[in-house]
Structure 1
Amino acid sequence: MRFRNKPWAKDYIAENAFYCIPNPEEHKGKWAALFGNSNPIHIEVGTGKGTFITEMAKANPDINYIGIELFESVIVKALERAVTADIPNVKLLNVDAKKLTEIFEKGEVNQVYLNFSDPWPKGRHEKRRLTYKDFLDLYKTVLVEQGEIHFKTDNRGLFEYSLMSFSSYGLLLKYVSLDLHNSDYEGNIMTEYEEKFSSLGQPIYRCEVKYQD
């Protein structure tokens, strides 16, 4: 996937370190101190342009949100949203999700969101999917006991793969929808991709899974 280069992104990120945290490894085990409270921490892996994470933070001021995005040219859009929203309970990290255990202490995170992740459809790229077992290991390490993953996608193949991956791992399937926008689910906050795909009449798939003891 290619993203348009934004030469100004690096400087803008550096200027807004209150929201986009430099050297996040330094805060491992100390995120509550950074937020200045002991509220639950929810992370979104692959936060994209930040609509979901900022809207969730607005709607739930008693939860701390951290958006994780690998690509500098993408996270800078999320940063612009966070700065404009001027909300204290959202932070952004420009890092690879593979570093989760370097950034968060065991049990420091309460919930994980995976929204419209890259499906990596080719078999040889399976290990890159954010619902692959190696990533499930990472989430389990940083999550509290019986922590949850909430997953949304428009890609049926990825959804079916993820359900099998979750089940094989031993996760409890709490909620599954094959057409979220025509379900009775309440409180859904859409991502940019979700708005685009749902406007075209594509079904949105969603599930909630829980780690078991």
Structure 2
Amino acid sequence: MRIAVISDIHANLEAFTAVLENMQIKNVHACVCLGDVVGYGAEPEPVLQLLWENKIPSILGNHEEAVYDDDILHYFNPQAKKTALLTRKMLKPESVERIKKWPVNIEFHGALGVHGFPPDSIHKYLFEADQGAISRMWDSVPYKLCFVGHTHNLDLVAFDGHNVITYPLLEGGWLLDNRKTIVNVGSVGQPRDGDNNAKYVIWDTKMNALTICYVPYNIQKAADKILKAGFPEINARRLY
């Protein structure tokens, strides 16, 4: 089975639509989303509706939490806080209620998906975990393969029982081995790795291999919508 793993769409309808079209070309059989569907972008409600129309399960990201939990806003910088408050106004009440029911992690085909750091952290970034934290994490996680998002960067972290090694993931194929592995799937709607294409990962469960996908989309259109909606200018500039 070929499973697309996506994350951090961030209300970018242009990027998400382009990725969905790319999935069809790549013969994807299923898709899982690792959270932060909303935030930063100008179209949170249309993106959520498209996610649900395509029956894509999602877990909770920190920007979903900010939609309904005022305590989360204390951890956001002023621009992110303004974004969260504007996003709240754009969402239907029933959409907020659906978001509240999203789980903090998801198991699929023997792998685990979480927004931040396994097994269930929404807020912890992968790069915040040192080698000791990563090796200890595997003591309590009964999975050999975990997928995360949150950082907006593509990375693979492998653990052989002794050493933790981090590899950057570039466009193309990657064959997984017997090591315990964390895959950071990057961002659909707001990559921060120096390349402005939408990014996502396809996991081939039969071959135990990854395909790293870079997808071009209409960045200018997405940026113009952000500015027109009154979001902070940085939200638009980051797309480039």
TM-score (norm 2): 0.32
Q: Which has the higher helix share?
A: 1
Higher relative contact order (CA 8 A, sep 6+): 2
TM-score (norm 1): 0.34
